[in-house]
Amino acid sequence: MPADLSPIDRAKYAASRRAVDFVEDGMRVGLGTGSTAAWMVRCLAERVKAEGLTLQCVPTSTRTAELGRELGLNIVTLEEAGWLDLTIDGADEFDPELSLVKGGGGALLQEKIVATASDRMIVITDAAKEVKTLGAFPLPVEVIPFGWQATRTLIAELIGGSDVDGHEITLRMNGDQPFRTDENNYILDLHLGRIGNPRELSLLLNQIAGVVENGLFLDICDTVIVGYGDGRVELHDMATRTPGTEPVPGNVFTDGDL
């Protein structure tokens, strides 16, 4: 492990290192997308190499698939794996009910499909992602390119009558072109500030013609692992509803870990 990591990267590494402890030999594992999930993929590859684990790993994006193959993981499709034992992914926000906002990395559709095809979902994050109420992070909504302006108008009408604080909608860009997901769709980011009723909003969004999926992950996450810059981790589990902090492992930040 490099010694010059930022506190945020050290926190992401600590959470990732703890999360891969839940992986057992023979499992079918979903691999998330994003900067935190990339640390997890590296930590998992280390375990596979050190312990000779036999796994089937299903990525949630082409980026994760490429990284996993590069590190020697057995990358398969969801169709090949069938059903998954565990998915480990990051999140942009989580609340006390372990409801999530995801999609900052642009892979929310595959992430939701993989997570809901798993017996368990573990989320890895840093303390800055914990909120009392979802909505501070813009809510991503994946839409098909055809007629996306009309879809945006319908979404604007919906959120205009919803229990939210903001109403701005922006088309996610990649330079001077719209950002494209792995499915070649667009993403609209909803700057809501606060989402008073996530369940209702999620249901109504997905009823709009042109909406493929939204970034609200409700009743999907089982455990959130929060990492800290000093190597501590805090586990929030739906089964116990009581967060527990674990001590710093003695060698979590020693050089050569990765």
* pLDDT computed for residue 55 by the predictor: 98
Beta strands across the sheet bearing 168-171: 168-171, 186-191, 139-143, 211-214
Token pair recorded at residue 122 = 């573990």
* pLDDT computed for residue 250 by the predictor: 40
Residues 6+ apart with CB under 8 A from 147: 210
11 is in an annotated binding site: no
Residue 250 in domain: no
Residue 256 in domain: no
pLDDT at 193 over 60: yes
Neighbour-count burial of 128, counting CB atoms closer than 10 A to its CB (0-12 exposed, 13-18 middle, 19+ buried):
exposed
Residue 127 to residues 1, 96, 124, 202, Cα–Cα distance (Å): 21, 13, 10, 25
pLDDT at 27 over 70: yes
* pLDDT computed for residue 254 by the predictor: 46
* pLDDT computed for residue 255 by the predictor: 40
**Which CATH number covers residue 192?**
3.30.70.260
Domain shared by 19 and 112, yes or no: yes
Q: How confident is the model at residue 253 (pLDDT cuts 50, 70, 90)?
A: very low
**Which CATH number covers residue 93?**
3.40.50.1360
202 is in an annotated binding site: no
* pLDDT computed for residue 256 by the predictor: 43
Residue 59 in domain: yes
Neighbour-count burial of 216, counting CB atoms closer than 10 A to its CB (0-12 exposed, 13-18 middle, 19+ buried):
buried
b/e burial code for range 96-122 (CB count within 10 A of at least 16 → b) = eebbbbbbbbbbbbbbbebbebbeebb
- Quote the number of domains for the chain: 2
Do the bridges between strand 177-178 and strand 100-101 make them parallel or antiparallel, or are there none, so unpaired? unpaired
| Rounded Cα distance, 103 and 185, in Å | 13
* pLDDT computed for residue 238 by the predictor: 84
Domain shared by 23 and 86, yes or no: yes
Residue 20 in domain: yes
Residue 236 in domain: no
Residue 97 in domain: yes
Domain shared by 31 and 85, yes or no: yes
| Rounded Cα distance, 165 and 89, in Å | 28
72 is in an annotated binding site: no
pLDDT in tens, 158-167: 999 999 999 9
Domain shared by 125 and 54, yes or no: yes
35 is in an annotated binding site: yes
* pLDDT computed for residue 10 by the predictor: 96
pLDDT in tens, 70-123: 999 999 999 999 999 999 999 999 999 999 999 999 999 999 999 999 999 999
pLDDT at 11 over 50: yes
Domain shared by 14 and 42, yes or no: yes
Domain shared by 114 and 186, yes or no: no
Domain shared by 105 and 49, yes or no: yes
pLDDT at 251 over 90: no
133 is in an annotated binding site: no
Domain shared by 55 and 96, yes or no: yes
- In terms of Cα–Cα distance, which of 193, 204, 220 is closest to 97? 220
Residue 169 in domain: yes
CB 139 within 8 A of CB 189: yes
91 is in an annotated binding site: yes
- In terms of Cα–Cα distance, which of 108, 91, 109 is closest to 100? 91
Domain shared by 18 and 97, yes or no: yes
Domain shared by 96 and 223, yes or no: yes
| Rounded Cα distance, 55 and 52, in Å | 9
- In terms of Cα–Cα distance, which of 127, 138, 157 is closest to 36? 127
Domain shared by 20 and 145, yes or no: no
| More confident of the two residues 122 and 2 | 122
Rg (CA), the chain: 18
Residue 240 to residues 21, 97, 222, 237, Cα–Cα distance (Å): 19, 12, 10, 6
Number of H helices, E strands in the chain: 7, 16
92 is in an annotated binding site: yes
pTM over 0.85: yes
* pLDDT computed for residue 4 by the predictor: 81
Domain shared by 187 and 67, yes or no: no
Residue 143 in domain: yes
Arithmetic mean of pLDDT, 6-23: 96
* pLDDT computed for residue 236 by the predictor: 96
What are 187's strand-pairing partners? 142
pLDDT at 258 over 50: no
- Its domain, for residue 113, covers 7-129+219-230
pLDDT in tens, 173-189: 999 999 999 999 999 99
Mean pLDDT value across the chain: 94
Q: Catalytic site residues?
A: 111
